[in-house]
Chains A and B, each alone.
Chain A
């Protein structure tokens, strides 16, 4: 049985540059630079004090009235996913239980979900207020914790931080009873989730799937851990909007961004039948792995070349057909170099000529959420036949020659390839195709 074609018919983005597809695209082509000094907490003692933050964000206005109480048990990562889901479904025109329970347009068991998530850190103030009731002589006391201390945590405390709760809240709100998965491969998560969702539709296991990822590492633990990995830009606390510089000669580390994106992937035939807006088709996917990725002191791009080659082969095209590269572009010098080499290995000498862009300069790295936002940007680029500019890129680092520009460019785009990779060595690549009816 031939595989079914898969279309992207809805985009929900929750990012530092804007909420929802229109604001997001306008900010992208307008080269809005939105990283700034951390305002969520006092980051004055951290080496890197820059982040891409969401302003006054809460999931409350993105959930049905009777679900608002549940927002209290959502970590910020979950809130981002829940908001992105609402935006994505509304954008797609599919009416779910969460949009209008009386008039749903999709059968619950035919709607799947696959959302990438990260390691969610518990709120230090929340946990600290309980921990500090179980202290004897300045030290944590297990006996006191067991008998009294832990009772200060809300009974549902654990459920706030389980990574599968992104998918669980989204499936509950929108009544998605089909296959449901949670991929936890750091920044490769979104691509792997979207790729797996595409396969699910292609083999007929679902009519539509909401897929992507979300994460916020914008908390002290996140900043600390990325600092220990020496991945953050420490040199631009005074010019925070210029801190994350993918592939630029002056790149000096990445910036934590919070956010994510969810895409509505849909059986193309169903989408055409209901007259849906189609951003692009998803025509190829592959995952790959760098077997030395476990050594986190060594830079990796997760064998990006193998993932990209695999996705291009899966799409039934050749590297010469690629018109657009959507880079991951963390801005970490060694990772940028590794990634650029990966693109050259996969696409040959043409790699430096193919128009390319990276979104990280504008909003930072969104980890498990990054890939879905990159794919959203790619789908919009195909739809608008426009390559967005790369913020904070002016001249390439010596080993990072790619077709980037700080200006938006109108181009004929038929095939685009996007790849993201994790700390740890996994990667996922997707090929998008311009949709023409």
Chain B
């Protein structure tokens, strides 16, 4: 028996470059940067004073009545908007054949941000003799902390909000494998459809770590670019002078479904998910396996899963964060998998423009792969001016490229060494 095929029938996104798929795509092809001075809080003295923020998004753009979701956190609102866009494109609302028990959801959503002012004020007001007086803390906290503000921080709550919007009764999962989360979510969602555990899955990711302790955490790890005097050019994956990633935020959601189910209801199929691979570096929590063995592992498994060879791949959407280590290790891993073809297959990182959306990054990048197939054009790696001898592949520098695109690979590598790869193709 042939295995069930999995196709994409809807896509939506809210991110630093746009509040929908088309605006995002136009911005990426124009090489625009979504990076600006951090305005969500006063980061003027932080090592990194800038980030890729979602600007001016209001959920009412996508949802006439937002009352039901009034407690939703920032990233959850992005996810709701993105999901509504995807759902609309899929036209599933008109499908009577969809059993809510066969409708699942698999997200890679991050945690919500802290109730920062109350959280820090408690820590200050209950501080005694070099530690928290927990009695005092509790007495104050019971007054100051809000049920919803606290509960919405749980990373399964985005899932819960989306499930309510679409009446999901099937399998519901959230993965949080750091920067690989939404790639993994889509891969695992595809496996559930393949096996028959669901006919349709809502999948993707949402995250915002542009809050004081999020930026603090990454700054302390020295993972972020500190190019404060040149912020639009700060995210420069694979460039010799790269100095870290630019923290972004946003959400991207895809509707994926079983091929025959989509065909039977006359859905417009955008692309097919043909391969998925997951692996672990099992190396160190702070560093990637320098040989790229973990990263090449997920690519190899995905190729096997798709029954494709490296020669079939027309484009690779890199994890390409712009940290010294990631880009070098990813290049090595690509060489290990693609051999003599490495350097011939074009690779780019849209993080050069959109920033690093952490848990939401992979889903956003997969959407651009689908668009590349649709429009036969590849998005560039911008801010690429100084070739690095250790990163010597074809990174599609600075300008988009018209070419034949049928099969795309998208990579995501999580902090701590969880790696995921997806392969999408035009659907025949």
Which residues of chain A come closer than 8 Å to B105, judged between CB atoms? Answer: 289
Residues A108 and B282 in contact, CB atoms below 8 Å apart = yes
Query: What are 5 A-B pairs with beta-carbon distances under 8 A?
Result: A153-B216, A177-B282, A286-B197, A287-B104, A424-B157
How many Å from the CB of B375 to the closest CB on chain A? 33
Q: Is the CB of A291 within 8 A of B286?
A: no
Given known A159-B221, A177-B282, A292-B164, contact A131–B123 (CB-CB < 8 A): yes
Q: Which of B41-49, B54-62, B337-345 contacts A (4 or more CB under 8 A)?
A: B41-49
**Which one of A36-44, A84-92, A386-394 is at the interface?**
A36-44
Given known A-B contacts A162-B415, A162-B416, A168-B416, A426 and B282 have beta carbons under 8 A apart? no
A293 within 8 A of B: yes
Question: Is the CB–CB distance between B163 and A291 below 8 Å?
Answer: yes
Taking the complex as formed, is B188 at the interface, i.e. its CB lies under 8 A from any CB of chain A? yes
Known A45-B135, A176-B280, A180-B279: A287·B155 in contact at CB below 8 Å = no
Q: Give residues of chain B (245-280) contacting chain A, Cβ–Cβ below 8 Å.
A: 277-280
Residues of B participating in the A interface, judged by any CB pair closer than 8 Å: 41-47, 69, 100-101, 104-105, 111, 117, 120-121, 123-125, 127, 130-139, 141-142, 145-148, 150-151, 153-157, 159-161, 163-164, 166-178, 184, 188, 191, 195, 197, 212-213, 216-222, 277-286, 293-294, 297, 301, 414-418
- B282, A224: Cβ atoms under 8 Å? no
How far, in whole Å, are A159 and B285 apart by their CA atoms in the complex? Answer: 8
Return the chain B residue nearest A73 by Cβ.
Answer: B285
| Residue in chain A with minimal CB distance to B209 | A158
Most B CB within 10 A of own CB, among A118, A169, A294, A426: A294
Kindly list chain B residues whose C-beta atoms are within 8 Å of the C-beta of A171: 280-282, 417
Which A residues are CB-close (under 8 A) to B169?
Answer: 288-291, 303, 306
- Shortest A161–chain B CB gap in Å is 8
A140 adjacent to B121 (CB under 8 Å): yes
Of residues 118 to 176 in A, which have CB atoms within 8 Å of B's CB atoms? 118-119, 122, 124-125, 127-129, 131-132, 135, 138-140, 142-147, 150, 153-159, 162-165, 167-169, 171-172, 174-176
Q: Smallest CB–CB gap between A320 and chain B, Å?
A: 22
**3 closest A-B pairs (Cβ-Cβ)?**
A158-B217, A168-B416, A146-B45
Closest chain A residue, CB of each to CB of B72: A294
Given contacts A132-B123, A176-B282, contact A157 B220 (CB under 8 A): yes
Q: A42-B135, A168-B418 are in contact. Are A129 and B216 (CB under 8 A)?
A: no
CA distance A426 to B173 in the complex (A): 8
Instruction: Given A164-B178, A168-B418, A287-B172, verify A140-B160 contact (CB < 8 Å).
Output: no
Q: Do A163 and B155 touch across chains, with their CB atoms under 8 A apart?
A: yes
Contact with B along A8-28 (1 / 0, CB 8 A): 000000000000000000000
Q: Within 8 Å CB of A174, what residues of B?
A: 282
For the complex, is A256 an interface residue (Cβ under 8 Å from B)?
no
Minimum distance in angstroms from A147 CB to a CB of chain B: 4
Distance, CA A77 to CA B113, complexed state (A): 20
**What residues of B have a CB within 8 angstroms of the CB of A138 in the complex?**
124-125
The residues of A that contact B415 with a CB separation of less than 8 Å are 159, 162, 164
By a CB distance below 8 angstroms, the chain B residues around A5 are none
**Extra inter-chain contacts (16) besides given A153-B220, A165-B416, A287-B197, CB under 8 Å:** A45-B138, A108-B282, A113-B280, A129-B130, A143-B42, A145-B216, A159-B416, A162-B178, A163-B176, A177-B297, A181-B175, A223-B138, A289-B105, A289-B171, A293-B160, A426-B160
Report A-chain residues with C-beta under 8 Å of the C-beta of B277. Answer: 179
Measured between beta carbons, the chain B residues less than 8 angstroms from A142 are 41-45, 212
> Are A294 and B221 in contact (CB-based, < 8 A)?
no
CA distance A118 to B221 in the complex (A): 22
Contact present for B220 and A287 (CB under 8 Å): no
Q: Judging by beta carbons under 8 Å apart, are B132 and A125 in contact? A: yes
> Does residue A325 face the partner (Cβ distance < 8 Å to B)?
no
- Does A178 lie within 8 Å of B220, measured CB to CB? no
Question: Which residues in B have their C-beta under 8 angstroms from that of A73?
Answer: 285
- List of B residues within 8 angstroms of A164 by Cβ: 176-178, 414-416, 418
Q: Within 8 Å of chain B (Cβ to Cβ): is A227?
A: yes
Say if the beta carbon of A225 comes within 8 Å of chain B: yes
Is A220 an interface residue when CB atoms closer than 8 A count as contact?
yes
Assembled-state Cα–Cα distance A289/B43 (Å): 40
Assembled-state Cα–Cα distance A303/B160 (Å): 13
Q: Are B222 and A146 in contact (CB under 8 A)?
A: no
Q: Which residue of chain B has its CB nearest to the CB of A125?
A: B131
A64 to chain B, nearest CB (A): 13
The answer to whether the Cβ of A46 comes within 8 Å of any Cβ in the partner chain is: yes
**A180/B286 contact (C-beta < 8 A), A119-B153, A158-B220 known:** no
Q: How far is the CA of A175 from the CA of B289 in the complex (A)?
A: 12
- Say yes or no: A178 contacts B132, CB within 8 Å: no
Is A317 among interface residues, defined by CB-CB distance under 8 A?
Answer: no
Closest Cβ–Cβ distance, residue A319 to chain B (whole Å): 17
Complex Cα gap A106–B270 (Å)? 41
Task: Tell me if A229 is interfacial: C-beta within 8 Å of chain B.
Answer: yes
Q: Is the CB of A288 within 8 A of B220?
A: no
Report chain B residues within 8 Å CB of A119: 111, 153-155
Query: A239 near B: Cβ within 8 Å?
Result: no
Whether the Cβ atoms of A422 and B217 lie closer than 8 Å is no
Is A425 located at the chain interface by the 8 A CB criterion? yes
Instruction: Decide: B177 and A181 in contact? CB cutoff 8 A.
Output: yes
Q: A185 and B138 in contact (CB under 8 A), knowing A150-B219, A172-B417, A426-B156?
A: no
The answer to whether B168 and A291 touch across the interface, beta carbons within 8 angstroms, is yes
Of chain B, the residue at the smallest CB distance from A173 is: B282
Is there contact, CB below 8 Å, between B147 and A228? yes
Closest to B216 in A: A150
Whether the pair B220, A154 counts as a contact (CB closer than 8 A) is yes
**Inside 8 A of A426's CB, which chain B residues have their CB?**
156, 159-160, 172-174
- Judge whether A293 and B285 touch: CB under 8 Å: no
Contact B417 A156 (CB under 8 A): no
Q: Is the CB of A42 within 8 A of B134?
A: yes
Cβ 8 A contact of B173, one of A127, A157, A183, A296: A183
Output the least CB separation between A86 and chain B (Å): 15
